[in-house]
Amino acid sequence: MALLELRDIRMEFRTPDGDQQTILDVPRFDVEAGQQVAVAGTSGSGKTTFLNVIAGLLTPTAGSVLFDGTRVSDFGEARRDTWRADELGYVFQTFNLLGGYTALENVVLGMTFGPGPDRAFARELLTKLGLADRLSHRPSQLSIGQQQRVALARALANRPRIVLADEPTGNLDPRFALDALGLLRGLCEEQGAALVCVSHDPRVLDDFDERVDFVEINRAMRESEPEEATP
């Protein structure tokens, strides 16, 4: 049994014109425990929606998301929030650090709603990522690369079993992109967390042994814009 199983996921939106538009149509997508997989897709192809459905931030119109055999897509919102806080890490393209919090506090926040604050572990993570002397700095006082590392630490602060990364290097200087990716993959491996990394950056995608094209798993893409779906 895979750690994450998506079955017949459909996500539909109503356009301003009143038409029903299908964004996601994913018959099957599995991720094993500890597996690291890259999902290749162009901008606007629905990759973020795909990740939000997995994370329980969006409820699919149809289909199931199973985590460790449990149908989390059937959970009520509050239970889904708790599941996310306990089991899932999320790395955003824009990092989404909170400006009013220090680097250490941002990481502590990542575990606040799940296992509970553990400042020592947060400090350990940041130290591992080379930010030992930046713990009390706020995001605005950090470089982009440093902000990215704080975001990585936050995503792994609750010791998740799966990490979702949405264009994790998209905002980084190409010189540092692979370094950041290496850190993310290294931390996930160290913690035994599975990783789903969506990106359109060929260098990022090439770094993964296991890689799928979003257009292949998302039938909605194939039907609407097949020519744009190729990375």
Binding mask 63-102 for another protein (x = CB under 8 A): --------------xx--xx-xxx-x-x-x---x-xxxx-
Q: Which is nearer to another protein, 58 or 178 (CB)?
A: 58
Of 219, 227, 170, 229, give the one whose Cα is nearest residue 22.
219
Cβ at position 109, least distance to another protein in Å: 6
**What are the backbone angles phi and psi of residue 150, rounded to the nearest 5°?**
-65, -40
Q: Which of 154, 201, 207, 215 binds another protein (CB under 8 A)?
A: 154
Q: Tell me, by CB under 8 A, how many residues bind another protein.
A: 32
Out of 12, 30, 42, 49, name the contact with another protein by CB under 8 A.
49
Each residue 158-177 as x (binds another protein by CB under 8 A) or -, in order, gives x-------------------
Provide the minimum distance between the beta carbon of 210 and another protein in the complex, in angstroms, as a whole number: 25
Closer of 36 and 48 to another protein (Cβ): 48
Distance (Å, whole) CA 90 – CA 192: 15
Query: Is residue 200 a contact partner of residue 193, using CB atoms and an 8 Å limit?
Result: no
Minimum Å distance from CB 178 to another protein? Answer: 25
Nearer to another protein, 96 or 179 (CB): 96
Asked if 1 interacts with another protein (CB under 8 A), we say: no
Helix axes 119-128, 103-112, angle to 10 degrees: 130
Give the one residue of 48, 148, 169, 199 binding another protein; rule: CB under 8 A. 48
CB of 48 to another protein, least distance (A): 6
Subset of residues 108 to 147 that bind another protein, contact rule: CB under 8 A? 108-110, 112-114, 116-117
* Site residues (vs another protein, CB under 8 A): 48-49, 52, 55, 57-58, 77-78, 81-82, 84-86, 88, 90, 92, 96, 98-101, 105, 108-110, 112-114, 116-117, 154, 158
